[in-house]
Amino acid sequence: MTIEEQLRIDPLIPVSNYELLTIQITDLDSKQEARVKQAFQRHYCLRDIVPKKFWPDRLRLKRKLLIQLTVHSQRYRYQSQPNHTIVLVQEKKPLTDDFGRSFCLVPWKRSRLGGLSASPCRHLVRKFRVPSDDRFSDYDPWNGDTMAALRNSLVQGRNNYCFHGCPHFSTRVPQEMHALFTGDSLIRDNIDLARAEYLEGVSRLHSKPIVLALKMGTACDNQCTFCSIHSTCSPYTLTGHSLKLAHSWFPFARQVVFTGGEPLVYAKHLRRIIGDHVQQEGKEVRINTNGILVREQLDLLRGFSKLVLSVSLNTSCSKTYQYLHGTDSFQKVVEGVRQVKEARQGLKTEIQLKMIIMRSTYRQIRDFTRLAADLGVDSLVFRELRWYERLKIDVAEKLMPGDPARGEALSAIDEASEYLAPLGVKVRPFAFDARADDVT
């Protein structure tokens, strides 16, 4: 007998805010028993135990569950402790419901333009890149063979491209997705079309990207030692067919992220992409900038209906700034942030400061926190240094596993969260990435 034929699921029993789900599997041989226990203990994910065609309807309607697994084998009876979990059902669901989901939305909603090539998602395990080729005027990276293959692999359930545990596989609930269905009709209609295509498992889409990331070019007015852009890329600017695509996709995207190089260096191109849609209701524009040119571009920044200005400052003192960024622009960036703060009155503008955690900066976390409070920013983001051989910065700057500095940095970030919480300043949760422990 197969495991599926030996499966028995008892009625759900209310327990506090959860419901207790008891799964009993009887008369297993030793190999079947090992498979069930290993799958449950590793993932707490029922699709690893039972194919979806055997799932009762009630499992697809519940999100908060206590799952207890009872296994009767030829040798002994095994019963797990009740585990708080979210059931992940291996089938596509509408974006607006609160079902668990195990299919990734990224290839149906997110696209990147710019540079020699762009990955549809940074969490991919395999090198799966979408070339940006301006030599062909009809080239469509959103519906190229690469993207179609990725979407098809997800639909078939035989996806070998994605990192297990990727945050894009997390359960989505109505509160998180509500913002997708508000705003300008162009955005709403595009999202409705994208949702239908996602549910149908379409590989080649008529909808436009909902989230659009644009690499404006590689030029930058800093020479950051921790940045690989200027050290690896030939001069590049988003022009030609890619620029036309960006301009045509912009009105339909709910979120647009401008990156570089330094995106404000390309203010002329940026204005062309935005066109008449700068005040489009429901659109969020994010600019990842070093902050040097924000004072010169205040008129541009004022115009957005909703703007996130993410400033890479990385330190609380000018000396360290010059060492990391290669320019003496610390005070200019700080004053630029102050002016944006003063100029944004009545506008939906979020100011975010970013800091890279490394040996030269981790002792400045507390001072950086006080500076952020003084500037009146809305959020702080701490990131760890990703080191590559081609970078100018010494590998000794990376805080390696076992280094006491890691613990000091984490403690300082916890203190920052407590200090800034009463001021309404958000601090993004931070943890050293286990996948980044080995330098490459």
Range of the domain at 230: 106-436
Same domain assignment for residues 127 and 269 = yes
Does residue 100 form part of some domain?
A: no
Radius of gyration from C-alpha coordinates of the chain: 25
Count of domains for the chain = 2
Does residue 365 form part of some domain?
A: yes
Does residue 101 form part of some domain?
A: no
Same domain assignment for residues 55 and 141 = no
Among residues 35, 56, 86, the one where a domain terminates is: 86
| Helical residues (DSSP H) of 354-394, grouped into ranges | 365-375
Beta carbons of 362 and 317 less than 8 angstroms apart: no
> CA 349 to CA 306: how far, in whole Å?
6
Same domain assignment for residues 253 and 337 = yes
Does residue 98 form part of some domain?
A: no
Q: Any idea what DSSP says for residue 390?
A: T
Same domain assignment for residues 326 and 256 = yes
Same domain assignment for residues 431 and 283 = yes
Same domain assignment for residues 44 and 111 = no
Does residue 247 form part of some domain?
A: yes
Residue 29 sits at φ, ψ, to 5 deg, of -85, 175
> CA 405 to CA 439: how far, in whole Å?
17
CA-based torsion, 367, 369, 375, 381: positive or negative: positive
Query: 86-124: b or e for each residue (b if 16 or more CB lie within 10 Å)?
Result: bbbbbebbebeebbbbbbbbbbbbbbbbbbeebebbebb
Q: Is the pTM of this model over 0.85?
A: no
Nearest by Cα to 102 from 87, 110, 90, 94? 90
- Which CATH number do you get for residue 179? 3.20.20.70
Does residue 208 form part of some domain?
A: yes
Per-residue pLDDT of the chain (440 residues), as tens digits, is 444 455 555 555 554 445 555 656 566 666 666 665 555 444 334 444 444 444 444 444 434 455 555 655 555 454 544 444 433 333 344 333 333 334 577 888 888 887 655 667 766 766 556 655 555 567 788 888 778 888 887 777 666 676 655 666 554 433 444 455 556 788 888 887 887 787 677 888 999 998 898 888 888 989 888 887 764 455 678 877 888 888 889 999 988 999 988 999 999 888 888 887 877 877 889 999 999 999 999 888 888 888 999 999 999 999 999 999 999 999 999 999 999 998 877 677 899 999 999 999 999 999 999 999 999 999 999 999 887 766 788 888 889 888 899 999 999 999 999 999 999 999 988 877 644 433 43
Helix (H) or strand (E) holding 352: strand 348-357
Same domain assignment for residues 79 and 140 = no
Same domain assignment for residues 236 and 153 = yes
pLDDT at 325: 94
Does residue 95 form part of some domain?
A: no
pLDDT at 166: 65
DSSP 3-state of 307: strand
Beta carbons of 96 and 53 less than 8 angstroms apart: no
Nearest by Cα to 204 from 131, 243, 150, 157? 150
Does residue 93 form part of some domain?
A: no
Same domain assignment for residues 195 and 331 = yes
Same domain assignment for residues 137 and 275 = yes
Counting Cα atoms < 13 Å in the Cβ hemisphere of 56 gives 12
> CA 332 to CA 94: how far, in whole Å?
47
pLDDT tens track for 291-320: 999 999 988 888 888 899 999 999 999 999
Nearest by Cα to 183 from 212, 210, 213? 210
In sequence order, what are the residues at sequence separation of 6 or more whose Cβ sits closer than 8 angstroms to the Cβ of residue 192? none
Beta carbons of 4 and 54 less than 8 angstroms apart: yes
> CA 219 to CA 231: how far, in whole Å?
11
Query: 166-202: b or e for each residue (b if 16 or more CB lie within 10 Å)?
Result: eebbeebeeeebeebbebbebbbebbeebbebbeeeb
pLDDT tens track for 69-78: 565 555 545 4
Other beta carbons less than 10 A from residue 205's beta carbon: 20
